[in-house]
Amino acid sequence: MDYEKLFRLDGQRAVVLGAGGGIGREAARALAAQGAHVVCADRDTAAAGETASLAGASAEAYEIDLLDQDAVHRAARELGELDTVVLTAAANVRKRLLDYSREEFDRVLALNLGATFETLRAFGKGMTERGRGSITVFSSIRSLLVEPGQGPYAATKAGIVQLVRTAAAEFGPSGVRVNAVAPGVVETPLTEPIKADPAWYQAYADKSALGRWAKAGELAGAVVYLSSPAASFVTGSVLFVDGGWTAVDGRYSPPGA
């Protein structure tokens, strides 16, 4: 093992699906900084182009609608041999179950779980045939812990974990690794409704052991790690990057503690 290149991705080709902003944008920038040629894929081509510009000369933009399964499989063919696939795109409708419509449920399910399923199938096929590759999908702390108003979102994030584990078991004999990253609360466009409420925002900050929210860039290291030689024996894992959220049992500190 060449420890000087433990996290380097020189000569590798990567695609980040959902690279138009938030965690996806920072993941693309981080992968490029470690030497990868990065395809910044997003439905918003202008945003994907902006990410590619930020990532540098080794990056390019690509338009994709992850809700179109044919487009996902077409991308897997058009982008050629890839070493790394990262899927960050997600949707959430914050409503209690009794207020949820079936249309809203299907919308969250289609992107969070449906796109994960198609990504694993489309890109996993070529990787298993070539005998190498890494796929990283984003789950959430909600795969373990729920709160009112996040039922369908939590269900999809739990489902992602099981899809990742299954893919790891099925692709592993061919040399392909599949893992998930599970963030805590992160400042992204998806969490704007929470940030807009100061009390809600602070309550989430107080829940983590570090007492704050994460910046999107703080998830990029997990992506680089799982994509790099440093994680060559890591597959079927869920890496929690949550500031200690899942380690803390409630917000109450007993007297004398």
Rounded to whole angstroms, how far apart are CA atoms 221 and 212? 18
Q: Which amino acid is at 204?
A: Y
Residue whose C-alpha is closest to residue 92's, from 190, 24, 216, 180: 190
Q: Which pair of tokens denotes residue 106?
A: 């299907």
For CA atoms 100, 200, 245, 248, the dihedral sign is: negative
Phi-psi region of 254 (alpha: psi -120 to 50; beta: other; left: phi over 0): beta
Question: For the purposes of burial, counting CB atoms within 10 Å of the CB of 29, is it exposed (0-12), middle (13-18) or buried (19 or more)?
Answer: buried
| Catalytic site includes residue 153 | yes
Residue 13 Cα distances to 71, 124, 136, 224, angstroms: 19, 15, 14, 13
Q: Is 251 helix (H, G, I), strand (E, B) or coil?
A: coil
Among candidate residues 3, 62, 100, 153, the one labeled active-site is: 153
For CA atoms 116, 103, 182, 27, the dihedral sign is: positive
Catalytic residues: 153
